[in-house]
């Protein structure tokens, strides 16, 4: 399901860029309208996916043998305490992320790194370090369904919620942002989702698939590192 959602996100992130590329005489207003319409549809998909996973088909996300584990762990914090801790953690992460971005910008300038490499590789890699560690940890415990949900779910959230939200917020702030990316970004996104679909299609995993995923990531990182 997450792979399918990412495929839909590809349409929303790639087609506006292709539209801008094909329609070279299209003015800024039309591109902005296209971005707003697509962003609204992507957010609707994300909201419906939450309803799907939390309400109508939540049994699919318990994962058979892990369902009992879920029931055991559900006897911990109540909803109120969980929400409070989540809000505090969110504020702390936002504060630390702001500090991180400020430091990375200076380091990147000193190391002569491109803005593309900073935004596409460096900040996501360091900013989501805890998430990456969690995914690797649960994968080491042979809980690959959970590991994939962590990794793919994060990408789905960015593509279907965060990016569209930034489009609407930028409009409110008087500096409209378009869902229009350059050709290399579009190809990288499309290739990444294609690889993901190829990996999860058979429902199995082994160490060589992990190697291929790491190599794919390194190829993208190398290309963006040398991009000016």
Q: 80-132, pLDDT tens digit by residue?
A: 888 898 889 888 877 887 777 777 777 777 777 777 788 788 778 877 777 88
**For residue 61, what pLDDT band results from cuts at 50, 70 and 90?**
low
pLDDT of residue 123: 77
Q: Which of 21-25, 31-35, 114-118, 169-173 has the lowest mean pLDDT?
A: 21-25
Residues 6+ apart with CB under 8 A from 13: 159, 163, 179, 181, 186, 189
pLDDT above 70: residue 68:
no
Average pLDDT over residues 168-173: 86
Q: Global pTM?
A: 0.72
Which one has a higher pLDDT value, 73 or 136?
136
* Per-residue exposure over 192-227, b if at least 16 CB sit within 10 Å of its own CB, e if not: bbeebeebbeeeebeeeeeeebeebeeebeebbeee
**DSSP one-letter string for the chain:** -HHHHHHHHHHHHHHHHHHHHH-TT--HHHHHHHHHHHHHHHHHHHHHHHHIIIIITGGGGT-GGGHHHHHHHTTSS-HHHHHHHHHHHHHHHHHHHHHHHHHHHHHHHHTT--HHHIIIIIHHHHHTHHHHHHHHHHHHTT-HHHHHHHHHHHHHHIIIIIHHHHHHHHHHTT----S---HHHHHHHHHHHHHHHHHHTTS---HHHHHHHHHHHHHHHHHHHT--
């Amino acid at each position: 399901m997450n792979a399918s959602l990412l495929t839909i996100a590809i349409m929303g992130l790639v087609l506006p860029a292709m539209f801008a590329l094909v329609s070279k005489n299209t003015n800024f207003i039309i591109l902005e309208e296209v971005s707003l319409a697509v962003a609204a549809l992507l957010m609707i998909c994300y909201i419906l996916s939450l309803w799907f996973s939390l309400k109508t088909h939540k049994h699919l996300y318990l994962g058979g043998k892990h369902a009992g584990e879920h029931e055991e762990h559900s006897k911990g914090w109540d909803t109120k305490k969980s929400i409070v801790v989540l809000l505090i953690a969110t504020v702390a992460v936002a504060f630390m992320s702001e500090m991180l971005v400020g430091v990375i910008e200076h380091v990147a300038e000193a190391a002569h790194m491109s803005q593309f490499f900073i935004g596409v590789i460096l900040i996501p890699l360091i900013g989501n370090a805890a998430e990456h560690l969690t995914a690797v940890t649960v994968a080491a415990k042979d809980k690959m369904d959970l590991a994939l949900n962590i990794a793919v779910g994060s990408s789905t959230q960015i593509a279907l919620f965060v990016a569209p939200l930034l489009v609407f917020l930028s409009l409110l702030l008087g500096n409209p942002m378009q869902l229009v990316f350059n050709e290399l970004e579009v190809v990288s996104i499309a290739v990444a989702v294609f690889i993901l679909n190829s990996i999860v299609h058979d429902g199995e995993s082994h160490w060589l698939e992990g190697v291929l995923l790491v190599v794919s990531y390194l190829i993208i990182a190398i290309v963006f590192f040398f991009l000016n």
